[in-house]
Amino acid sequence: MLQNIRVVLVNTSHPGNIGGAARAMKNMGLSRLVLVDPQDFPSHEAVARASGASDILETAQVVGTLEEALVGCTLVLGTSARDRRLPWPLIDPRECGTMACADAGAGAEVALVFGREYAGLTNEELQRCHFHVHIPSDPAFSSLNLAAAVQVLSYEVRMAWLAAEGQRPKVVKEEVGSERSSQPSTTDEMELFYGHLNATLVEIGFLDPENPRHLMSRLRRLFGRSAVSRTEMNILRGILTETQKAARGLAYKRKSAPEEK
Amino acid sequence: MLQNIRVVLVNTSHPGNIGGAARAMKNMGLSRLVLVDPQDFPSHEAVARASGASDILETAQVVGTLEEALVGCTLVLGTSARDRRLPWPLIDPRECGTMACADAGAGAEVALVFGREYAGLTNEELQRCHFHVHIPSDPAFSSLNLAAAVQVLSYEVRMAWLAAEGQRPKVVKEEVGSERSSQPSTTDEMELFYGHLNATLVEIGFLDPENPRHLMSRLRRLFGRSAVSRTEMNILRGILTETQKAARGLAYKRKSAPEEK
């Protein structure tokens, strides 16, 4: 179950932090590390700080973009400082652990995403996350070391996992994962949907591509928290396709077409 | 209240870990560090890893024995691997946080004690502790980095402190419910939306009113679980209105209209 949870580090500067994160993960029983565009990797410093967790560094996946790192994921939890301009569903590390374990236990792929040492995640990256996790630090000194942040979230995942071991009602598993059609859409499927939605909104004149404001991010937030199933995704994509046809004057001719033509 | 809680590091080898511990403490609002016979302190490496928490290093108390470090304390919580020959009351980090905050809140002096990087606390030192705290690591790779262990316990102290302050649940509330626009739509607003959605889907030819099957009930299920806010509702209703206009050939004329007209 813990193997369904990946830790994603975005654009890390210091290899020591990658090693420290690997050690924290392994201590807590996590094993899948994904590095998005690390500045210095592989590195001796990472191995030194990993202190026995170098197997996690060796099997780490290195990718170029966050999008690649999230392929297959249906739950993406990104660490964030609290004061973002963008309002987003915000949870604490304990809720993060519970949520990650519940989904991973039902067979879903989950990502815990950590940003750059000094700048965190960009707003664009944060919008790819379903929930933002805020580690409740002292506002006067709020920035945790990267490996320390990985330690806190990994710890909460393990606490939730230990609590769920033996306690987890089997019914929940069956309910959530019984048929493929009721499984949540993956991150990449959601991205295709957002692309289609964006194009359609431009086409019907609702979205001005030169002045998009916060429209798409608001819609991402709405659909992002809904765990859209595959069946529902098929319906949403179908609606978009028909909307585009209608906007192009190719609407399906119904027996009782409205007066307005 | 948090100032009644001291962190005691016993015979630490690596100054980097002292710095990392100071940073973890300050992030979580703790300020009192006591060093028992540190091997290398003060040190530039400690200051570098403290990364802004060097005030904690400067005010750290350096003593020769654990006994001196614990003067005045009525509750001493010592980190320990689980498999000790010595049977002792064993708690997890969460219980440690709750216990430390309860006593500190009542005015008592509390110590969180951490042992050497490789050997931990001796049996004699462990016997000076009222409780042993075990961080639930993977038995196959159980030894946490010292600063990481300080991070976990400090985090649990802060979580307990925030809960005691009655502050913790605020985080989520503030984000989700601060303004009227982020309040969820009412049942009647949702019904108006479903009516509008139904009409629009018929108009674009996606929904056959004579054979509606489960389409609307599936969409009700999707939006029903999303707690659609008022702002989001305005967006969704706006999209439907524009879709209807587009389907009626009244689409807003964009500079770059699609080829299909």
Query: CATH number, domain at A150?
Result: 3.40.1280.10
Rounded to a whole number of angstroms, the distance from the CA of A190 to the nearest CA of chain B is 15
My answer on whether B10 and B46 are in the same domain is yes
- Tell whether A261 is covered by a domain: no
- Tell whether A12 is covered by a domain: yes
Structure tokens at B3: 């100032």
Q: Judge if pTM exceeds 0.80.
A: no
Q: Does residue A254 register a pLDDT over 80?
A: no
Which residue among B168, B196, B228 closes a domain?
Answer: B168
Q: What is the pLDDT confidence band of residue B252, given thresholds at 50, 70 and 90?
A: low
Distance CA B261, CA B258 (A): 6
My answer on whether A164 and A225 are in the same domain is no
Q: pLDDT value at position B81?
A: 80
Q: What is the pLDDT confidence band of residue B173, given thresholds at 50, 70 and 90?
A: very low
My answer on whether B163 and B184 are in the same domain is no
Distance CA A182, CA B26 (A): 45
A249 chain-B contacts, CB cut-off 8 A: 249, 260-261
Displacement of CA B221 from its chain's centroid (Å): 31
Q: What is the pLDDT confidence band of residue B251, given thresholds at 50, 70 and 90?
A: low
My answer on whether B102 and B212 are in the same domain is no
- Judged by CB atoms closer than 8 Å, whether chains meet at B29 and A138 is answered as yes
My answer on whether B10 and B67 are in the same domain is yes
Residue in chain B closest to A147 (alpha carbons) equals B148
Residue in chain A closest to B53 (alpha carbons) equals A141
B51 chain-A contacts, CB cut-off 8 A: 145
Q: Does residue B259 register a pLDDT over 50?
A: no
Q: pLDDT value at position B176?
A: 41
Distance CA B206, CA B240 (A): 13
Question: Do B9 and B38 touch, CB atoms closer than 8 A?
Answer: yes
Structure confidence by residue, pLDDT tens digits, B39-63: 999 999 999 999 999 999 999 999 9
B138 chain-A contacts, CB cut-off 8 A: 26-29, 158
Task: List b or e across A119-139, with b for residues whose CB sees 16 or more CB atoms inside 10 angstroms.
Answer: ebbeeebbbbbbbbbbbbbee
Among A2-6, A215-219, B32-36, the minimum mean pLDDT is found in A215-219
Query: Tokens 């807003």 correspond to what residue?
Result: B252
Cross-chain CB nearest to B24 (options A148, A231, A260): A148
My answer on whether B213 and B164 are in the same domain is no
Q: Please give the residue range of the domain that contains residue A119.
A: 2-174
What mean pLDDT value characterizes chain B? 87
Question: Do A152 and A30 touch, CB atoms closer than 8 A?
Answer: no
Which of the pair, A82 or A260, is modelled with greater confidence?
A82
Phi, psi of B258 (to 5 degrees): -65, 155
Percentage, residues of chain B above pLDDT 70:
88
Averaged pLDDT for residues B128-156: 95
Rounded to a whole number of angstroms, the distance from the CA of A97 to the nearest CA of chain B is 14
Q: pLDDT value at position B225?
A: 77
Three-class SS state of B109: coil
- In the 8-state DSSP scheme, what is residue A116? B
Q: pLDDT value at position B220?
A: 82
- Tell whether B220 is covered by a domain: yes
My answer on whether A135 and A154 are in the same domain is yes
Among A109-118, A140-149, A241-250, B19-28, the minimum mean pLDDT is found in A241-250
- Tell whether A252 is covered by a domain: no
My answer on whether A42 and A135 are in the same domain is yes
Of B219, B227, B194, B237, residue with least CA distance to A239: B219
Averaged pLDDT for residues B14-34: 98
Which residue among A136, A153, A174 closes a domain?
Answer: A174
Which of the pair, A251 or B230, is modelled with greater confidence?
B230
CA dist list (Å): B136 to A5, A156, B127: 18, 10, 21
My answer on whether A78 and A149 are in the same domain is yes
My answer on whether B140 and B23 are in the same domain is yes
A29 chain-B contacts, CB cut-off 8 A: 137-138
Q: pLDDT value at position A83?
A: 61
Q: Does residue B73 register a pLDDT over 60?
A: yes
- Judged by CB atoms closer than 8 Å, whether chains meet at B141 and A245 is answered as no
Q: What is the CATH number of the domain that holds A221?
A: 1.10.8.590
- Tell whether B230 is covered by a domain: yes
Structure confidence by residue, pLDDT tens digits, A25-52: 999 999 999 999 999 999 999 999 999 9
In total, how many domains does chain A have? 2
Q: pLDDT value at position B248?
A: 85
To probe the interface with A, which of B157, B180, B203, B240 has the most A CB atoms within 10 Å?
B203
- Tell whether B75 is covered by a domain: yes
Q: What is the pLDDT confidence band of residue B214, given thresholds at 50, 70 and 90?
A: confident
Q: Does residue B241 register a pLDDT over 50?
A: yes
- Judged by CB atoms closer than 8 Å, whether chains meet at A90 and B261 is answered as no
Q: pLDDT value at position B178?
A: 44
Q: pLDDT value at position B84?
A: 59
Which residue among A130, A154, A174 closes a domain?
Answer: A174
- Tell whether A255 is covered by a domain: no
My answer on whether B89 and B20 are in the same domain is yes
My answer on whether B124 and B77 are in the same domain is yes
- Tell whether A256 is covered by a domain: no
